[in-house]
Structure 1
Amino acid sequence: MTLFQFKSTSNLSNWTIIGDYVMGGVSNGNFYLSESGTGVFKGEVSLDNNGGFSMVKYSFATKQVDDFTSVSIRLKGDGKRYQFRVKTNESDSHSYVAYFNTSGDWETIEIPFSNLSPTFRGRPLNMENYPGQHMEQIAFLIGNKKAESFQLEIDRIELI
């Protein structure tokens, strides 16, 4: 199942940037289509004012995902570490999170649902890992506890 395939005509209206400004920080992020039709998440993470993260999230109607076991993402990073996040319900306060490193080249990463662990504001929760039944939101977040520029280019996101 394809969650999102980027192309030059993609509608990004359900993609939203969330920054640490929600807690007083000054990091910034932007999300746009490249000339080649990929999604680009780009910006600067700042530690000023107790900040330190930038996130882009994609919300959609509830999807039944119990026929799948993993997320497959074709992307090109900048050699930095990112988080991939899932919400069962968009209104949940917690997310299920897995970290992944990027190589600087185009690559396909696979994240098993069983590796998505529950967190709230960066703290682990005493709950089961992602149950893989429903999904209403996915997100990419950078927050490596350091000031840094970042760029993550995304081609497609699929469930396998």
Structure 2
Amino acid sequence: MIKNITSRLGLIIIMVLFSSSTLNGDELILENFDKGSENRWDFFSDQVMGGISTGKLYFQKEDELNFINLVGDVSTENQGGFIQARSKLTETIKKDIEGIVINAKGNNTTYYIHLRTTGTLLPWQYYQAEFSVTSNWQEIKIPLISFKRSGNFLRKKVKPASITSIGLVAYGRNHKANLSVASIRFY
């Protein structure tokens, strides 16, 4: 019996230590793009619905900073207009959060974060907030109240416990995308 309890306790400790989300003070770290992050992120474009936007994800390191780099050409032809990097959350957010903090840089333009929840059943449903980047690394805080629903059938506000994925998105206009993100945290 003691051996069984010890085995279970060891398994719980391992799960906590190797979880991709950890608490840091009052923040919940979602991603710091460490080893293995390429297995947690997927690339999507409007080509899934007939669009012609193209792009790629790169996982890079600059000095001691790991980051994801979303690059591509966004085109609104054929009713398209997006490329995105998306990651599913590995666990439910069990605490109240006020927003998201990202460490990002890019090509001096506007990008978006898309949140999907247990209530976003259709592929075109999400909650969206915009942010702008410069060519220098900067921390950007995005309050949850800034996220707008993509349609009237969704709940008006995002409930933290219902978030299932997060997307980094170049969207809505013809442009060259070049967005780098080194960390994503909930605060």
TM-based fold match above 0.5: yes
Alignment counterpart, residue 98 of structure 1, candidates 129, 144, 149: 129
Structure 2 CA distance for aligned equivalents of residues 65 and 101 of structure 1: 29
From the superposition, tell whether residues 65 and 159 of structure 1 become closer, same or farther in structure 2 (CA, over 3 Å). farther
Q: Residue type of the partner of 1:149?
A: K
From 118, 127, 133, the counterpart of 2:161 = 133
Contact 1:58 1:138 in 2 (8 A): yes
More strand by share: 1
For 1:2 and 1:79, locate their aligned partners in 2 and report how far apart those are by CA, in whole Å.
25
Greater relative contact order structure (CA < 8 Å, 6+ sep): 1
Asked if structure 2 preserves the Cα contact closer than 8 Å seen for 1:78 and 1:152, the reply is yes
Q: Which residues of 2 match residues 8-87 of structure 1 at below 5 A?
A: 9-36=35-62, 37-87=66-116
Distance 1:66 1:104, change over 3 A: same
Separation in 1, partners of 2:144, 2:32:
20
Structure 2 residue 185 is matched with structure 1 residue 158: yes
Change (3 A) 1:91 1:65: same
Tell me which of 118, 136, 143 is aligned to 2:149: 118
Summarize the Cα distance change of 1:35–1:62 in structure 2 as closer, same or farther, 3 Å threshold: closer
Taking every aligned residue pair, what percent have the same amino acid on both sides?
22
Amino acid at match of 2:40: N
Distance apart, 1:67 and its partner CA: 2.4
Higher helix share: 2
Gapped regions of structure 2 (runs ≥ 5): 1-27
How far does residue 4 in structure 1 lie from its aligned partner after superposition? 0.4
Residue by residue, what CA displacement relative to the aligned partner does 1:89-117 show, whole Å, maximum 9, x if unpaired? Answer: 38632211111111222111111111112
1:114 counterpart SS class: helix
User: Normalization by structure 1: what TM-score?
Assistant: 0.86
Distance 1:54 1:62, change over 3 A: same
Partner of 1:144: 172
TM-score normalised according to structure 2 size: 0.75
Asked whether the equivalents of residues 56 and 140 of structure 1 are also in contact (C-alpha less than 8 Å), the reply is: yes
- For 2:39, what is the secondary structure of its paired residue? coil
Superposition deviation, residue 132 in structure 1: 2.4
- The code of the aligned residue for 2:160 comes to G
